[in-house]
Amino acid sequence: WDFRQVSDDEVRELLATPTVGMATARIRFAETPAEVIARCAVDAPSGVPPREALEELVGDARIVLIGEASHGTQEFY
């Protein structure tokens, strides 16, 4: 995992990139972290991805941590 700081331009590009539909067919080979995220992102209406997407991500894991690491939780992520 690469948790380096991304630039404002990378964030703008990510936010402007559709994750579904015909527009995704034009995404070129990913070179930046923002492009990788845009290519792999799952549409999540109201912040909740479809059940099938969650099942694919989680698999048969017994424990799943959702969210981002904060101070004091790095040992879990």
Give the pLDDT confidence of 23-68 residue by residue, as tens digits: 555 555 557 888 888 878 888 888 788 889 888 888 899 988 777 6
In this structure, what token pair is assigned to residue 29?
Answer: 């080979």
The confidence score (pLDDT) of residue 38 equals 83
pTM, entire model: 0.36
Distance CA 71, CA 37 (A): 24
Question: Is residue 1 one of the residues assigned to a domain?
Answer: no
Q: Which domain holds residue 20?
A: 8-76
Question: Is residue 3 one of the residues assigned to a domain?
Answer: no
Three-class SS state of 75: helix
**Angle at the Cα of 49 from the Cα atoms of 6 and 34, rounded to 5 degrees:** 15
Q: How many domains does the chain have?
A: 1
Question: Is residue 65 one of the residues assigned to a domain?
Answer: yes
